[in-house]
């Protein structure tokens, strides 16, 4: 029903079917924030999983920095030590489904040859930054195929997608690290994570070098960062004829669908792992990677505040000292069991057709060790959110995010609540929630049709929407379920 049909306290509103309680995620931004380096665990009343920490698979940093791989000297493994491979021209990329019977044909069409694929320039140090930019020489082959007659679906997907994934090396005044990115345009716009290009919030103006899958090197500059959803866009200098990735529709995914992660875990460029979509509409809280004093130090005056939802998860950049110890963000993610490790951050999660369905952002670890790797619980920002945010960054240098205008908390923390959701504690006078007729005590159970199980869910889904967009909120009042249309405000960064 429309806003002007929102039931008043003394009227008998139209009753709709009762929701079954949140089973996924996607939430509204709680006010409490956690540190990257913090190992503390929030209350766990609402979670049964024994997972204790989120680790940003950001990558490998050196010089006391964060990612576990030290820079190698001229004799180190970062140097390509494989025999040269004669490049073979490939046909123009053509998106297709990789069903049975088509894989071998795709490999032949792509003119793949056997041979050793180099690791790329994964070490950091003074020699890295002195190398020439945009060389016309061709690097090593992207994929090794020794037996074209026995390739499988994953081989075909990797063949299609790897040219659209890059390795990103970042160096600051005292820290350095690496991550991954996906190519958005043939002239060098690349999408990655904010925590990759800011080294977890430590650097506002880092030196960035990018290695494409075929070994070409480019300098890059930050176009804009979006700390609210941990996304960033960089631009490669002098780039042309790159292979943009094709976006898929993340809203049409199914649990169990094929998911392939591509990036540079631990600096190992052109790495491919495979799995499935483990869960959809999951929401997690991670530490902010905003550069100090840039934006979003707190949201005390922004509304949409709430408790932390009892989340036991934390987002750590291994070894990095958190720059914003009191800042966190809530994001909606795809959960996958495809192996994601430090260095996969900003890389691609693609479907069985090689289309982008997510930007890899975080992993869960079972213990407090900062060196922990994948345990089969990885998270990616849905492609539909990433596409909107990246387009806004390229257009204006920043992205917008929705604002509901209410303090919220988990229904499980309210003794009188009889259904899971996010309870409206205090709607901001004159804010979108209040204008739509939402009142104190209302329990939000769905946002734009997606289940809301707590405060973090609601924050994440509201932030995923653009400022000024319309949303449908399903809520429970007095044991009855209602729907109302809300025009979201704009989060003031």
Q: Which domains does the chain have, with CATH numbers?
A: 16-27+400-490 (2.30.42.10), 53-58+250-396 (2.40.10.10), 103-236 (2.40.10.10)
Q: Residue 332 in contact with residue 230, Cβ under 8 Å?
A: no
The backbone torsions φ and ψ at residue 311, rounded to the nearest 5 degrees and listed phi first, read -70, 130
User: Which of 36, 53, 195, 216 does the annotation list as catalytic?
Assistant: 195
> Is 195 an active-site residue?
yes
438 vs 13: which has the higher pLDDT: 438
Cα separation of 367 and 273, whole Å? 23
> Is 230 an active-site residue?
yes
Q: What is the pLDDT of residue 1?
A: 43
Q: Residue 286 in contact with residue 360, Cβ under 8 Å?
A: no
The backbone torsions φ and ψ at residue 44, rounded to the nearest 5 degrees and listed phi first, read -120, 30
User: Which of 230, 304, 307, 351 does the annotation list as catalytic?
Assistant: 230
> pLDDT grade, residue 222 (50/70/90)?
very high
Interval 440-450: pLDDT, tens: 999 999 999 99
Q: Which residues, in sequence order, are CB contacts of 160 under 8 Å at separation 6+?
A: 93, 95, 96, 98, 106, 354
**Hey, is 265 helix, strand or coil?**
helix
**Hey, is 390 helix, strand or coil?**
helix
> Is 36 an active-site residue?
no
Q: Would you say residue 55 has pLDDT above 90?
A: no
The mean pLDDT of the chain is 75
Q: Report CA torsion sign: 433, 438, 442, 446.
A: negative
Strands (DSSP E) contained in 290-338 are 315-316, 328-336
Cα separation of 333 and 34, whole Å? 19
The residue whose two tokens read 């900003």 is 346
Cα separation of 357 and 122, whole Å? 26
Interval 101-158: pLDDT, tens: 444 443 333 323 222 222 222 323 333 333 334 444 445 556 777 887 888 999 999 9
Cα separation of 479 and 297, whole Å? 38
User: Which of 35, 176, 283, 345 does the annotation list as catalytic?
Assistant: 345
Interval 377-410: pLDDT, tens: 999 999 999 999 999 999 999 999 999 999 999 9
371 vs 257: which has the higher pLDDT: 257
């Amino acid at each position: 029903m429309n806003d002007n049909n929102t039931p008043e306290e003394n009227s008998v509103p139209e009753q709709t079917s009762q929701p079954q309680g949140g089973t996924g995620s996607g939430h509204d931004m709680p006010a409490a924030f956690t540190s990257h380096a913090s190992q503390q665990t929030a209350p766990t009343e609402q979670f049964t999983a024994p997972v204790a920490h989120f680790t940003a698979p950001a990558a490998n940093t050196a010089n006391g920095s964060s990612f576990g791989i030290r820079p190698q000297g001229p004799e180190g493994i970062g140097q390509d030590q494989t025999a040269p491979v004669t490049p073979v021209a490939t046909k123009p990329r053509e998106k297709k489904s990789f069903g049975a019977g088509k894989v071998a044909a795709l490999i032949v069409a792509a003119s793949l040859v056997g041979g050793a694929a180099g690791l790329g320039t994964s070490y950091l140090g003074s020699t890295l930054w002195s190398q020439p930019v945009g060389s016309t020489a061709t690097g090593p082959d992207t994929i090794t195929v020794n037996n074209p007659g026995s390739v499988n679906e994953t081989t075909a997907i990797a063949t299609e997608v790897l040219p659209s994934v890059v390795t990103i090396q970042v160096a600051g005044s005292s820290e350095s690290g690496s991550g991954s990115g996906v190519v958005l345009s043939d002239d060098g716009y690349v999408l990655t994570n904010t925590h990759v290009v800011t080294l977890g919030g430590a650097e506002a103006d880092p030196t960035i070098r990018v290695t494409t899958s075929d070994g070409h090197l480019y300098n890059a500059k930050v176009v804009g960062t979006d700390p609210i959803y941990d996304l960033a866009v960089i631009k490669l200098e002098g780039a042309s004829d790159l292979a943009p990735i094709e976006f898929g529709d993340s809203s049409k995914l199914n649990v169990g669908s094929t998911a392939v992660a591509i990036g540079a875990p631990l600096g190992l460029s052109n790495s491919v792992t495979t799995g499935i979509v483990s869960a959809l509409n999951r929401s997690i809280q991670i530490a902010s990677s905003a550069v100090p004093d840039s934006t979003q130090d707190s949201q005390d005056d922004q509304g949409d505040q709430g408790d932390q939802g009892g989340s036991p998860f934390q987002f750590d950049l291994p070894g990095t000292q958190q720059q914003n110890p009191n800042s966190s963000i809530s994001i909606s993610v795809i959960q996958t069991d495809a192996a994601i490790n430090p260095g996969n951050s900003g890389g691609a999660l693609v479907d069985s057709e090689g289309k982008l369905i997510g930007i890899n952002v975080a992993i869960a670890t079972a213990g407090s060790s900062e060196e922990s790797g994948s345990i089969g619980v990885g998270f990616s920002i849905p492609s539909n959110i990433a596409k909107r945010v990246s387009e806004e960054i390229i257009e204006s240098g920043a992205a917008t995010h929705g604002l509901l205008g209410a303090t919220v908390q988990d229904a499980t923390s309210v003794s009188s609540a009889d259904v899971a959701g996010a309870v409206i504690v205090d709607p901001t006078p004159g804010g979108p929630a209040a204008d739509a007729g939402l009142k104190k005590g209302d329990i939000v159970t769905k946002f734009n049709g997606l289940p809301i199980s707590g405060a973090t869910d609601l924050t994440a889904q509201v932030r995923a929407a653009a400022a000024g967009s319309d949303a449908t909120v399903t809520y429970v009042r007095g044991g009855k379920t209602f729907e109302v249309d809300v025009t979201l405000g704009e989060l003031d960064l």
